[in-house]
Structure formats: C-alpha cells, structure tokens
C-alpha cells in the first residue's frame, strides 16, 4: 500500500484523518482514523462509495465458505479479457488490436462496464459505453453459443486444480458453500456448468447452497437487474450470499471464510466483514492488496488446513 496525503473526499490532518493508503491499482483508498477505518471505493462510472473496513477474524471450524468463480473455481480470466480485447478492437475498427499486460488488473475482477470504460478511456476515447456494451454482448452470445455446441475456444473454461476433491471434502464436512461472482448470469452460469460437466459433478445449482451472480444484463427490449454498479469491490455480492443465500447472521461472520484470486474480490470480502483467503494466480500481488488477505494459499487443497 502507498501512503498518500489526500483522496477525493479525505485529507490527512483534517476531520480526524490520520493516514490514507492506496494499493497499486488505485481502485480504493483506505482512510484511517483514531478509532476506525473507512474504505473509499472509486468508480469509473461516477458512483463511488464509502464503507467501514472492519477488523476480521476467523474461528474454525467454518460454517460456510464463499468462493469466487473466475480464477478461483474456474480458470477463465484469459477468455474474458480476450472478449474485452475483441470488443475494443471492434470499437476501433482494428482487428489487429492487442491489449497490454499492464491493462490486466483493470479488466479482471470488476464489472463489465468498469472494464469497458477503462479500455475506452485508454484506447478509444469518444466511444460510448453503450456501444461497447452492445459489441461485448454480441461477442459473448456468439462465443457462448459456440462453446456450448463444442465449436468454441477449447480452453475457455477449465476447472481449477483439485476443484472436485476440494468441494466434495467441504460438502462431506457439512460446511455450506456459496459461489459468488461479479459476472452477469448469462456469462457465469455456462462457466460453472461447463466445469461441472468436465468433472462429472452434475448440476451446480443442486450442489451449491447458494449461487449469487451480478444479475441479468440490461439491453434494449428486455429488463435487467442491478449488477453493474454494485459488484466487487463493493461488499454486496458476498454479503448477500452469506446473509440471504446461506442464512449466516452478521454476528457469526467469524465462522465464514471467503476465497479470492482478484484484488476486487479481496476488497469485497473484507468490506462484507469476512476473513479472506487469497489464492495465487490472479492479480492480488500485482494490484497491491495482498496485505488485506488474512491467509494466502497456492491451491484449493491448502484451504482445508484453514477451514477445518
């Protein structure tokens, strides 16, 4: 974390602010007072928010775990970043366009609109977000249809190593499992369905105790659900999964662990009041939020040593 003197809303030395820190990706600012910490979540779409950042603790045995989808349960981030890249190429009218490696922390883990707005601001100034979203969902619908027919990108969705063994062990222990994703329903469900098919695990809707996505996409001619302004790093997806989906009261949050590979997800878990396990392979280190993780692991099976 980097020390700064001033954020959009706070300044060191004023109104009791002792310090302000921000990670490498600058998606949040942490404001420390004498008796509390606040987290200022920035927004590329003009709707920032401030949340309390509570101290977290975990007491085994876990009553529930909250699992991220992309990168943690299913390896798919490269595919979705490729879709963002293809959308940008279409906006530019340049089929040879390629994203840069430095773009990756900003086009993974957040909402589709946040990802697209970042690419517009950097590569396609003057393009509208609405047009970018239209292109994005045209590409997604085509690619998903191809994948489900067995003709699409072969490596789009791959179950994380040891996913089946881990999930079955957790289930056997009587621990509730919630699946949490910032992905919209139409992109998230084919991922986990594909992974469960590969693992011969049946219907994921029957297996998980709760699945919470960012809702349905809003497009012309159909209704949508709120999902583009409230996903990770905001706390609501994880909070809803635990409290509403799994029935865990806020007072028992110390019996819940969240597991993530993305910086946005780590912040989301912590703002929801839960201890966080960071799994390697995502952008946690690159984005500079590793110190927010209560535990760090390299694979899912190492999680069992923490939760049991």
Average pLDDT on 156-175 reads 96
| pLDDT for 129 | 94
Q: What are phi and psi of 66, to 5 degrees?
A: -115, 120
Look at residue 292 and tell me whether its pLDDT is greater than 90: yes
Evaluate whether 266 touches 285 at the Cβ level (below 8 Å). no
| pLDDT for 144 | 84
- The pLDDT tens digits of the residues spanning 7-25 come to 999 999 999 999 999 999 9
| pLDDT for 185 | 87
The rounded percent of the chain whose pLDDT value lies above 70 is: 100
Look at residue 165 and tell me whether its pLDDT is greater than 90: yes
142 DSSP 8-state letter: H
Exposed e or buried b for every residue in 189-209, given b needs 16+ CB within 10 A?
A: bbbbebbbeeeebeebeebbb
**What is the rounded CA–CA span in Å between residue 145 and residue 141?**
6
Where is average pLDDT lowest: 103-117, 247-261, 272-286?
103-117
| pLDDT for 111 | 80
- The pLDDT tens digits of the residues spanning 223-233 come to 777 777 888 99
Average pLDDT on 166-186 reads 95
Average pLDDT on 202-212 reads 96
CA dist list (Å): 260 to 6, 66, 139, 215, 280: 29, 9, 27, 20, 9
CATH T-level topology, domain 64-75+158-307: Rossmann fold (3.40.50)
Q: Which residue has the tokens 């098919």?
A: 197
6 DSSP 8-state letter: B
Burial class (CB in 10 A: 0-12, 13-18, 19+), 228: buried
**What is the rounded CA–CA span in Å between residue 118 and residue 95?**
19
Average pLDDT on 276-304 reads 96
| pLDDT for 60 | 97
**pLDDT confidence bin for 112, thresholds 50/70/90:** confident
Query: Tokens in use for 176?
Result: 């509730």
Q: Where are the domains of the chain?
A: 2-52, 64-75+158-307, 77-148
Please indicate whether residue 55 or residue 155 has the higher confidence score (pLDDT): 55
11 DSSP 8-state letter: B
| pLDDT for 78 | 87
């Amino acid at each position: 974390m980097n020390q700064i003197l001033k954020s959009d809303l706070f300044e060191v030395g004023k109104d009791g602010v002792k310090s302000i820190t921000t990670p490498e990706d600058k998606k949040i600012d942490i404001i420390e007072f004498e008796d509390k910490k606040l987290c200022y979540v920035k927004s590329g779409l003009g709707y920032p928010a401030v949340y309390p950042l509570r101290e977290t603790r975990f007491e085994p045995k876990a009553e529930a775990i909250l699992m991220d989808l992309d990168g943690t349960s299913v390896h798919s981030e490269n595919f979705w970043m490729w879709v963002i890249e293809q959308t940008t190429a279409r906006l530019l009218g340049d089929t040879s366009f390629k994203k840069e490696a430095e773009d990756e922390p900003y086009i993974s883990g957040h909402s589709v609109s946040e990802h697209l707005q970042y690419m517009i601001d950097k590569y396609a100034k003057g393009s509208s977000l609405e047009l970018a979203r239209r292109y994005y969902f045209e590409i997604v619908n085509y690619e998903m249809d191809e994948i489900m027919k067995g003709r699409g990108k072969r490596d789009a969705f791959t179950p994380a190593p040891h996913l089946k063994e881990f999930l079955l062990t957790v289930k056997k222990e009587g621990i509730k499992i919630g699946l949490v994703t910032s992905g919209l329903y139409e992109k998230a469900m084919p991922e986990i369905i594909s992974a469960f098919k590969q693992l011969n695990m049946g219907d994921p809707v029957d297996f998980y105790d709760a699945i919470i996505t960012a809702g349905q996409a809003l497009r012309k001619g159909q209704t949508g659900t709120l999902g583009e302004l409230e996903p990770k790093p905001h706390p609501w997806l994880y909070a809803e999964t635990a409290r509403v989906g799994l029935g865990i009261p806020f007072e028992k949050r110390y019996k819940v662990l969240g597991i993530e590979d993305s910086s946005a997800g780590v912040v989301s878990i912590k703002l929801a009041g839960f201890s966080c396990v960071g799994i390697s392979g995502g952008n946690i280190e690159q984005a500079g939020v590793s110190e927010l993780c209560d535990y760090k692991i390299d694979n899912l099976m190492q999680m069992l040593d923490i939760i049991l």
